[in-house]
Structure 1
Amino acid sequence: MFDAGRHSVRRAMAALAMEGKLSVEQGRGTFVEDAPKLNYHVGRRTRFRQNLLSQGFEPGGETIAEDIVPASPAVAEALGLAEGAPVHRLLRRDMADGVPINLGFSFQCAIRFPDWARLRREGLSVTEAYHAHGVTEYFRHSTSVHSRRAREEEAELLQQHIDQPVLVVRKVDVDGQGVPIGHAEGIWAASRVQFVFEGVDDGPVRFPHRGGDAE
């Protein structure tokens, strides 16, 4: 129709895919991207499900892999556990209106939360899984964000172009007494989400397995 060469069309398609306007799915083809663009609010009471529902998106997700592993030094420090303590490690993919927006690992103490993996696999939300273990309230203590290029397997699971960036979000949640209960590292599709940070003051966080309270 426009008398454009095949090479020019390929370059144009690649540029549109990098901008997030097209979705290239290997083995299926190229599609106009209709992924949601949502504002994800991060505050003291950050909740994935509430974030999406409040903006008219249907939350969803699936557990891709799960196991119990010894806590690495970084995970042990984040959760206030002894290094090598057993922790649940879940790899999940979260959705908004059926479109992948987040992929990441989460860690919870396997002793305090023995049924964590099963409850999440059965579809309970994080809040519901904590309630089942007697945690009636929890809060976001810390969040860090940086960007990088997506890795091949991440781009495939997020259904985005390999050259599109991702946002790496690390967080720690604490219970009502300030004890760390959850640590996660999420890989977010940068073209589909914008993070909005709200001012909080959580106070000290307790690390009972480290020989006292710490801030």
Structure 2
Amino acid sequence: MRSRGQSWEATRDRISEEIAAGHLAPESRLPAEPDLCLLYNTRRHSLRRALAALVAEGKLRVEHGRGTFVERAPLINYVVGPRTRFRENLMAQGLTGSGQALSEAQVPASARVAAALGIAPGALVTARSWRGFANDLPISLGWSYHDVARFPDIAERRKANASITQIYKTYGIADYRRHSTTVFTRLANEHETSLLMMRPGQSVLIVQKIDVDMDGRPIGFSEAAWAGDRVQFTFENADARGTPSERTDDV
């Protein structure tokens, strides 16, 4: 007896999940109907109904004579200000923000990191990397660096504190400020393309920042690579009241 195959609802949900996860990239063209039927174990009429539903939801578009394409999702508007917080930024747009720790180790500072932190090249720094998600879609990779001489056990203290602001307070730094923010674009390297589920040849938006204590001494340097086709940035003016704020390493 021939299998009935997957229902149109299940087919719709599978395609939708693959779009959300970045497995079906924006502007990519879907395979022909016979291939899709085999791929999703569904019959042609169920496939067509599933595709029609996704078109109605704005996730796909049909270009007559060319095929069916994944629609480009609206850009995430990431607000950078005195209270930049990753999860709250995304929550305001109906998205769930989450992070995945990738690595944390003490390594010799490169010339670039040493210059940012005002230490000698080769001095030990705690280097941490992570990946940020909006729903299930990766949108950023981040790296942060702290001088081991000043913050000898920051990795351990990180386990007990949710924000970098609270961690700094345990070292006697009551408040701090952003000294500089540098933003530029470049082509994503192979590592970034893989972790951000991007197509080769796409660009990432690089955001570098240096934080200093209230005496102007550098305390942290971080860099983030953001998927350039998924995020735009809005930079807000500093809080006029100058009150301390909760900040994270994310931007």
Does the pair score TM above 0.5?
yes
The whole-number CA distance in structure 2 between the counterparts of 1:137 and 1:153 is 35
One of 168, 173, 176 as aligned partner of 1:135: 173
Q: 4+ runs of 1 displaced by more than 4 Å?
A: 21-24, 31-36, 119-123
Q: Secondary structure at the match of 1:94?
A: strand
One of 173, 181, 187 as aligned partner of 2:225: 187
TM-score (norm 2): 0.60
Deviations 1:1-33 (A, max 9, x none): xxxxxxxxxxxxxxxx99734599xxxx9x957
In the alignment, does 2:115 pair up with 1:77?
yes
Unaligned runs of 5+ residues in structure 2 are: 1-22, 31-38, 40-58, 60-69, 240-251
Unaligned runs of 5+ residues in structure 1 are: 1-16, 202-215
Q: Secondary structure at the match of 2:138?
A: strand
Q: Secondary structure at the match of 2:120?
A: coil
The whole-number CA distance in structure 2 between the counterparts of 1:146 and 1:45 is 22
Conserved in 2, the CA contact under 8 Å of 1:105 and 1:186?
A: yes
Between Structure 1 and Structure 2, the one with more strand by share is 1
The whole-number CA distance in structure 2 between the counterparts of 1:23 and 1:68 is 44
After superposing the two structures, state which structure 1 stretch, 35-44 or 73-82, moved more: 35-44
TM-aligned CA deviation for residue 45 of structure 1: 4.2
In the alignment, does 2:151 pair up with 1:113?
yes
Larger Rg: 2
Q: Secondary structure at the match of 2:229?
A: coil
Conserved in 2, the CA contact under 8 Å of 1:20 and 1:161?
A: no
Where relative contact order (Cα < 8 A, 6+ residues apart) is larger, the structure is 1
| Partner residue in 1 for 2:214 | 176
Summarize the Cα distance change of 1:99–1:133 in structure 2 as closer, same or farther, 3 Å threshold.
farther
Conserved in 2, the CA contact under 8 Å of 1:63 and 1:121?
A: no
After superposing the two structures, state which structure 1 stretch, 148-157 or 129-138, moved more: 129-138
| Superposition map of 1:12-51 within 5 A | 20-22=26-28, 37-51=75-89
Give the aligned CA root-mean-square deviation in angstroms: 3.5
TM-aligned CA deviation for residue 54 of structure 1: 3.7
TM-aligned CA deviation for residue 182 of structure 1: 1.1
The whole-number CA distance in structure 2 between the counterparts of 1:127 and 1:34 is 36
Conserved in 2, the CA contact under 8 Å of 1:90 and 1:107?
A: yes
The whole-number CA distance in structure 2 between the counterparts of 1:122 and 1:145 is 31
Deviations 1:17-73 (A, max 9, x none): 99734599xxxx9x9579773222223443334433443433221221221122222
Q: Secondary structure at the match of 1:52?
A: helix
TM-score (norm 1): 0.68
Conserved in 2, the CA contact under 8 Å of 1:166 and 1:188?
A: yes
| Partner residue in 1 for 2:99 | 61
Conserved in 2, the CA contact under 8 Å of 1:18 and 1:163?
A: no
- How many residues in Structure 1 have an aligned counterpart in Structure 2? 182
Summarize the Cα distance change of 1:176–1:155 in structure 2 as closer, same or farther, 3 Å threshold.
same
Deviations 1:79-136 (A, max 9, x none): 1223332211112111222321111321011232233224446783333433443434
